[in-house]
Amino acid sequence: MNITFRQLRLFLALADTGSVSAAAKAMHVTQPTASMQLKEVTLSVGLPLYEIVGKKIYLTDVGQELAATARAVAQVWDAFEQSVDAVKGLSRGKLRVAVVSTAKYFMPRLIGSFCSKHPAIDVSLEILNRDGVVHRLRENRDDLYIMSMPPADMDLGDEIFMPNPIVVIASTSDPLAKKDLVSLHELAQRRFILREKGSGTRMAADQYFHKMRFRPDVRLELGSNEAVKESVAGGLGIGVLSRHALHGRQKEHGVSVIRVEGFPLPSAWHIVHPAGKKLSPLALAFKQHLVTEISQRK
């Protein structure tokens, strides 16, 4: 096969964007040029790499393998460039980080303080639900991943860097907000508003409820912390959230943390990556930055 590195980058852009025009824009070429180059890649491989159904591009099995190969090559090359820059005393390049949605309450500031020390770098921050982050982790699409419940079926490099207490919240007008301590038994008649199944917060709550043989009466399952807080503030029920979703405070936006037996649940934030992945100098520096920044706040 005779495929250039730039053609591999173009095909990777196609895989990531799902569009020839978007891939062309990402690679700063015209759409006709991108289409011609992608055709050359397909001819070189000798098998269909993608198909277009309803104006949407779907990779074939071979196309997915080529995308994974292209991503691995690009990551190795990026790491090499960063290593050369480090020898020159420079600090530039691109850092890719994927985080679960609850981490958006603290990660931008940590990234900001890192960028202030390394102003020449670019950061790509993906904020997704846990399933989305795990999907990117399995495809090795980023340098580092921040989550509270790493998948147990993967061989990972995993470092805990910050606690993630899971708390119960109620409307500030709820009588529970004024009690010193609430037993789980007292919540048996209450309606619960929880994050969607598969989220790290929901997994931690479900594990504890199962351990205590407590079955919450779930009124709503919602896909964002903001939706849970709004529903609780509106008196629709009590919720279970990371304290970080309240910006670390005891009260916020019409809701209050209530003291429930067994809560806060002991959870933590993890920095993870595939175990066999060789981290780039930027990724190593950012990982150390997270650990140092949090330890200094204690």
Listed in order, the ranges of the chain carrying CATH 1.10.10.10 are: 1-90
What does 248-283 look like in DSSP terms, one character per residue?
Answer: T-SEETTEEEE-BTT-SB--EEEEEEETT----HHH
For residue 42, give both structure tokens: 């397909």
Distances (CA, A) of 131 to 16, 113, 147, 151, 170: 17, 28, 11, 10, 27
* Length in residues, the chain: 298
Distances (CA, A) of 108 to 54, 60, 290: 37, 36, 12
Residue 90 confidence (pLDDT) above 70 = no
In the DSSP assignment, the letter for residue 93 is E
The count of other CB atoms within 10 Å of the CB of residue 99 is: 22
Q: What are phi and psi of 78, to 5 degrees?
A: -60, -40
Q: How confident is the model at residue 203 (pLDDT cuts 50, 70, 90)?
A: very high
The hierarchical CATH code for the domain 1-90 is 1.10.10.10
Q: How confident is the model at residue 257 (pLDDT cuts 50, 70, 90)?
A: very high
CATH superfamily entry for domain 166-265: Periplasmic binding protein-like II (3.40.190.10)
* CATH class of the domain comprising 92-162+269-297: alpha beta
Listed in order, the ranges of the chain carrying CATH 3.40.190.10 are: 92-162+269-297, 166-265
The count of other CB atoms within 10 Å of the CB of residue 127 is: 17
Instruction: Please give the pLDDT value at position 48.
Output: 92
Mean pLDDT of the chain: 90
Instruction: Please give the pLDDT value at position 86.
Output: 67
170-193: pLDDT as tens digits: 999 999 988 989 999 889 989 999
104-124: pLDDT as tens digits: 999 999 999 998 888 888 899
207-220: pLDDT as tens digits: 999 999 999 999 99
- Contact assessment for residue 230 and residue 163, using Cβ atoms and an 8 Å cutoff: no
Residue 269 confidence (pLDDT) above 70 = yes
Residue 248 confidence (pLDDT) above 90 = no
Instruction: Please give the pLDDT value at position 94.
Output: 84
Instruction: Please give the pLDDT value at position 296.
Output: 79
Q: What's the burial of 37, exposed, middle or buried (CB within 10 Å: 0-12/13-18/19+)?
A: buried
Residue 287 confidence (pLDDT) above 70 = yes
Task: For residue 284, give the amino acid letter.
Answer: L
As a whole number of angstroms, the distance between CA 294 and CA 298 comes to 7
Residue 56 confidence (pLDDT) above 90 = no
Residue 235 confidence (pLDDT) above 60 = yes
